[in-house]
Each structure stands twice: as structure tokens, then as C-alpha cells.
Chains A and B, each alone.
Chain A
Amino acid sequence: MTLFLTILVYTLGGTIVGSFISFLPSLHIYNVAGIALLIWGSMADILPEIAMIPFFTSLIVAFAFLNSIPMTLFSAADESASAIILPGTKNLLLGKGYETVIMSGIGSLVGVLFLVVGTPFFYKIMPYINNIVRPNLAWILLTVVAYMLMSEWPKGAGYGKTVWQKFSGAWANLFAGIASFLLAGLLGILIISKSIVTHQMAFQNIMPVFIGLFAIPSMIQNLLITYKIPKQFVPKETIDLDGKTLVLSSYQGCISGFISGYVPLITAGIGGIIAGAATALRGDKIFIIGGGVAKVIYYVGSFLFLFVITGLSPYGFAKGGLNIILKPYFSPQDNDYFLILSIIVLSGCVSFLMLMWLAKVAVKVLQKINFKLMYVVMLVLIVIFIYSLTGLNGIFVMIVSTCIGTIPVFYHCRRSNLMAVLLFPIILNMAGYGEKIADFLGLIKF
């Protein structure tokens, strides 16, 4: 097989595999990529070395496009669960889940376009920014964390006759936000300083934590749903979207994606909060499409930056899970960037087609499936998965993480506060205080 065909086949293969994996709720591609890499290693004699990057790149591209299906169609907040329902869920309850998924996909296509059009900027400007920013990451991350905490405002109306009644009512969600941040941060210090997972599975050290913090609380929330999802409308020709909304969403999404795609540990959610505040645009469509744009730049762009090799950035400036998983297995070369970019474009276009097809499948499945049973099965599978990889220790970590992860779900504060699990210990380590804190907590001994 020629080199071209090898890359083409593995790009398409990665896209198709990634599409089906992303279709399943509660599975994160970084966990799958870790497992896939183990399988890849065991088949190293059969699989061509050159195929690894196209396969994994397209895997992540497909995830960035298609995870809007489970996020929108297989997830719904309970009527009493929150005063604020995310636009995707709201549309699902209005029978517009399919349209929402397609809008997110259109946003993701814009994200791919941004990566193509932004290439001169990545090569000519970003290396300078990177050189200025990197030595200052500790305080920059702390600034982002400080903004996250300080920009969460009281959601309640402050009912009550006394100062304390008004204060405590309005502050309930703020207290919950601070509590979830601190608890997740403490958990992060514990996990990073003293892993309780065996060294063979060290690469999945953080997996039970993330599944506990994010996946299981969502499943619990979905298990508590009390009403039926309505039949979803599938338009025959076009969806309700105008050019101006698309442009404004792209403007917000690109800022959000750029922040989260470049700054380490900043997720698309956190980037979205910052970009949303900075651009002051509001509206459900802007949120959905902008989210689609940001997802691609966050997941895919952050990996692409590994290949921006210049005099000022000899090792690129990548971030993210895929970068960490794959970097030990290859070293990027000067001219790899355009190959990867081509893979992203091809995979993005195929992913969008897969999205349109699988979204229709999902709409049909939605009417037939027992929603709660699906989540029970997923929950059981996840527990088995964690147990098989990390043993009882991993299950314990997952349970603790789940307890923390349910705080934002039921007390209506930002879930992105849970990212303190990584942000907190890493900021401390970057600033040189990590070991002192771990020593103070008795986690390490000098």
C-alpha cells in the first residue's frame, strides 16, 4: 500500500471508529485513546507506524464533531434539577434535538476552517505569544481560576426578611461552587502526589477521577428524569439558521476555542465562559454553534499545535490529552503540520456526514430505547471498566469523585469548578509550592 493510501485508509478508519465511539454516552475519547494505544502496541507488528498519527488524529476529530449527539440527545435535566437548563437540553425537550446537533456540527466545521485559515497566525504570531506566556503560566492559570470563582454571581433572587436569609438563599450556589472547587482541588493534590492506582496503569491514573467527577453525576441526573423526551423533529431540507448568527457564533467560538486550545488545563467550558463574557453575545444558537467551533479548536487544534515547529517553538506548543498520550511514541517533524491539517480537514468533512447520519439514527433510537435502562447498563459497564483497569482502589477514587461531582449538578453551580482537580495541583507545582503542600498534608516525605 502506498503512503498516501495508508494515510487515507487510517484517516477514514479513525473517523469511523471515532464516530461510533462518540455516539455512546459517557465515554470520553481520551480514555478510549489510552486503551486504543495499548491495543495498537500489542499489534505493532501488523499495523504500519506511519498510520498511528492519522488514526488517532481522526479519532479525536470525530469525537469533537459527534459527541454533541450523546450530549444533546441522550441527556436531559430533570424539571426540578436546575433553574437553568442548557440550550441543547432545552431544545431536546422542544423536539429540536436533531437541529441542535446539526448546528453544533456546522460550528465544528467552522472550527476546522479556523484551523486552516489561522495557519499563518499559528506560525508567525503564536510562537512569540508562546514565548511570552509560557514562563508566566502559573499566575496566568491562577488568574483564570480567580476569574472563574469571582465571576460566579448569586443566582437566587435573595428572598427573605433578614440579611442572613437573603444572603444564605442567594449564596447557596456560590458556596457550592467554592466547595466543589476546593474539594476537587484537594482530591487533585492527593491523586497527583500519591497515586493509588498501580504503576502499570499509571497512564490512567486520572481516569476514575474524571469519570467520577463528570460522567457518573450526569448519569445519575439522567436516571432521575421524570418526564418523557418528546418526538424529535427532523427537517427535510434545511435547518433554521441565518448567516449573521453563524458569523457571531463563530466569533465567540473562535475566541473560546483559541483560549482553551492554547492555555494548558483550560477546557472548552472555561474558555466559553471567558469568551461569552468578553464578547457579550447571548442566545441559544450562539451558545450551541459557538460550542461546536470551540470543541474542534480545543480538542483538535490543541494537538495540531504540536506540529507548529519554528525557531521560536522547536517543540510546538501543544496541550491536551492526545498530546500527552501520543507524544512519547513519535517526534513531530518540520513538514508534518500540513499533513495533519489535511487529515483534520478530510476527517472533519467525513465526521460531519457521519454526524448527519448518526443524529438521525439517534433520533430513532431515542424513541425506542429505555432511557433509564441504557444509563444503568452504561453505569455498570463503566464500573466494570474502571475495576478491570484500576482495581478496587480505582473504584474507591471514582466513588469519592462522584460525591464531589454531584455537588454542581444538584446545587446549580458551574461544573467547570471541578477542573480544580488538575488546575489546583498543577498551579501549585508550577509555582514551586506543590511539594511543600503535599509534605504538609503528609502525602510525601523528604
Chain B
Amino acid sequence: MKGITHFVSGLAVATFFPKAVCMASRGGIVEGAESSFILVLGALYGIMPDTLDFKFGQFFSLPDYDIDCDPIHPDPQKMAESMGKAMEEAFEKDKLVKVQLYPMQLGSDLWRQYVIKFDGENNEVVIILNEIVSTSQVPFEGTAPKENRVGRYKLKSGKMLETHGRPSAVDIMSGPQFGFQKFGEHVLVEFLPWHRTWSHSYVLGFFLSLPVFAITYFFNLTNWYLYGLIAFLGFATHITEDLSGHMGGSLLWPFIKKRYNGFCLARASDPRLNFSVIYLSVTIILFNIDRFTVNVIPLPWYKYYFFFFVIPIILFLIFAEIFGVKTQIKEGLIGVDEILKQARVSNAAAIDELNSEEESIIE
């Protein structure tokens, strides 16, 4: 899910603690009110797993190979060969090989988009040069190269094992990293090998909440244990929410390092899901604050949630259906299926959940 969704839902979870809600109120409103910032911890720890990945973790994942193509004279064949040889090296030497791709920037607001497809059927890496796009990822029609547009490399050793099966587009700001690893007779392709690993672990969440417990205890704050508990629950909420998608996380790192798959219930970047969770969180926050402090809402909980959550969300979903609020496919990717067909690459829906999640975080 998007960063803001985790942030707000972490906050919503924190408001289930009556003492914390009272402590957060301005002095004099209710007993125990002390203008505490305790609830903010839930939000901060709610966004922390992705912060750790995208602001820190990715820089520690040094690539073995950089594929940084000349934007003026791009050579897709050479790019495909570099990727393919990295995969062969991973298979032959039985080690993790990481490849970093970079965007092709042509101007302050101009980027050459390209697409990478791991074609498991033909055991090929395919690179397709696409249109020039703006920083808003809007393509300029007719700017796709007329020739030398597709590069492909057939693996000489190992059978490609693609886990997400869909093309990835690289255009603005930064490019993805791929990890290749031997897996039996296969070369496993991992997208963003640094994402949702150690950072998305309940164990790490517990350890990161320990300093909060310690500091609040040391300063003898009222209900000191609540600060650490709320911090941990914010972190845990994020990891649990991420399980609704495809990728999951390394839930028990460092004890079990495996990255578990999610339940595949929804796409992480789906605006309908994200908005619904944010809206639900806001209604929960208001209701909880009210019931633990000022008590101005004259409705029982079921009526409140029916009138202020169920009905508005139904209306929102109708609105979303009518006006096409859904996961936005990069405009440059819409035509990729056709190009893939022309290039005799096995077809797949041109959406990449992981890629779109990275975008949703970066945006």
C-alpha cells in the first residue's frame, strides 16, 4: 500500500488506546490530558518499514553491474546482453548477482522510457525502447525509435524463472534493481531484491520499539509502556497490511530470512483500496477520539460507521467505477503488449505490481 495509507492506519491503531487518546488531548479537556505526542508514534512507525527500504536499505544493496545506457544513442541489444550475462554468471557461479538499471534522462523534463521483459517461455531477456516521456510520465507520441528498438538475449545456461511475469518500465528519476540467483536448474529473477526483506519483519519492529520503551521509562513519562507499544503496533500494522498484496515480506527476519508471499487480495497501488483504507482510518480516528474525550457524536457505533463509512464508501466505489478511478497504467506501457507481440515475446498484462508500488512510494 501507499506510504500515506500505512501512515494513517498506524495512527488509527494508536487511537484504540483510551489512555493514549486522553494523553494526546490539550490539557484541561479530559482527565490525563497533557498534549502528548504519543499518537504520532503510531503514524511514524507505520511508515517506517518503507522509509528504511527506500531511504536507507536500497543504497546498501550495491549492484554487481550497472546498466547505465547513453540516452542519446541507446543500444537495447547491449543492455539485454549485459542483463543476460549477469543471469548466466549467477547460474554458473551459484551466487546472487545484482544489476542496477538507470533512467535515460534527455532533459530537465524529458526521459526515454524503456521496458524490460524476462521472457520465460523463450528464455530471453528483452529490452524495448519506448517513447520519450515527461516527468509526469506522459509519452510524446511518435518519439519511439524507428529502428534498433528491441534488444534480446537468449540465456546460454540456466532456465529463467520469472516470479512476476510482467514487463517493468523504467522512465523517470530512478531505475529498479534486479537480483539473479540460482534456484535448482533455474535462475530466479527477483525484482527490487532489497525491498520488503529485513525491514518488513515483526522482529525488527519489536527491536525498533525497544528504544521508545527505554527512553519513555528513563524520563519517567506517564504510561511509559504505551509509547513503545503504539510504536510497535504501527510498525506491525504496516507489515500486516502489505500481506494483502502479492509480495508479502520477511516477517520473521533475522530468524527466518525468506520473503513470504502476500495473500494477493489487491494491488498495492490500487487507489480505491488505498483511499478506502485511509477513509476508514480517518473515521476510526474521529470516533475513537470522540468516545475517549469530548463525546459529542450522538450516535451509537454501528449507526456512526453505517452513515459515515459504509454509505460514503459505497458512493465512492460507484464514483470510482463511473469515472475510472483505478490503478493507472503508465501511458507508455499501454502499447507495450503490441510491441512484445511484434518482437515475438510471450505476452502478459503490462502492469507490474512491484513496479507500481515503488512508484506509489516515490510519488
Contacts and interface: CB of A to CB of B under 8 A. Distances in A.
Name, among A81, A146, A162, the residue most crowded by chain B CB atoms within 10 Å (CB to CB): A146
Interface in B26-61: 26-27, 29, 33, 35-40, 43-44, 47, 51, 54-56, 58-60
B108 interface: yes
Contacts of B2: 277, 280
Contacts of B36: 139
Interface stretch (B74-82, B134-142, B199-207): B134-142
Interface stretch (B147-155, B248-256, B285-293, B336-344): B285-293
Contact of A277 (B137, B297, B363): B363
Interface string A79-100: 1111111010010000000000
Interface in B66-89: 68
B266 interface: no
Nearest to B330: A282
Interface in A92-111: none
A377 interface: no
A280 B108 contact: no
Contact of B135 (A83, A138, A431): A83
A161 to B, nearest CB: 8
Nearest to A151: B3
Contacts of B274: 278, 280
B275 A278 contact: yes
Contact of B108 (A82, A276, A283, A312): A82
B191 to A, nearest CB: 16
B173 A156 contact: yes
Contacts of A128: 290, 296-297
A385 interface: no
A248 B328 CA distance: 13
B278 interface: yes
A181 to B, nearest CB: 15
A166 B103 CA distance: 15
Contacts of A431: 35, 37
Nearest to B359: A282
Contact of A157 (B4, B103, B278): B103
A283 B59 contact: no
B269 interface: yes
Contacts, number: 157
Contact of B173 (A155, A278, A282): A155
A284 interface: yes
Given A83-B135, A279-B275, A282-B328, A139 B174 contact: no
A147 B7 contact: yes
Nearest to A432: B35
B160 interface: no
Interface string A60-95: 000000000000000000011111110100100000
Contacts of B56: 167
A136 B325 contact: no
Interface string A142-176: 11001100110111111101110011001100100
Interface residues of B, number: 64
A4 B189 CA distance: 74
A118 interface: no
Contact of B361 (A133, A153, A284): A153
Interface in B94-148: 102-103, 105, 107-109, 134-138
Contacts of A142: 37, 40
A430 B109 CA distance: 42
A328 interface: no
A247 interface: yes
A83 B109 CA distance: 7
Contacts of B51: 150
B294 A157 contact: no
Contacts of B294: 131-132, 135
B62 interface: yes
Contact of B296 (A85, A282, A312): A312
11 contacts: A85-B135, A136-B289, A146-B40, A147-B47, A154-B54, A157-B173, A244-B324, A251-B323, A277-B2, A280-B271, A280-B275
Given A280-B275, A280-B363, 9 more contacts: A133-B286, A135-B33, A139-B38, A150-B7, A153-B55, A154-B174, A159-B68, A159-B102, A431-B37
Interface of A: 79-85, 87, 90, 128-129, 131-133, 135-139, 142-143, 146-147, 150-151, 153-159, 161-163, 166-167, 170-171, 174, 244, 247-248, 251, 274, 276-284, 312, 430-432
Give the 6 A-B residue pairs with the shortest CB-CB distance, closest first. Answer: A280-B271, A277-B4, A167-B59, A431-B35, A157-B174, A135-B29
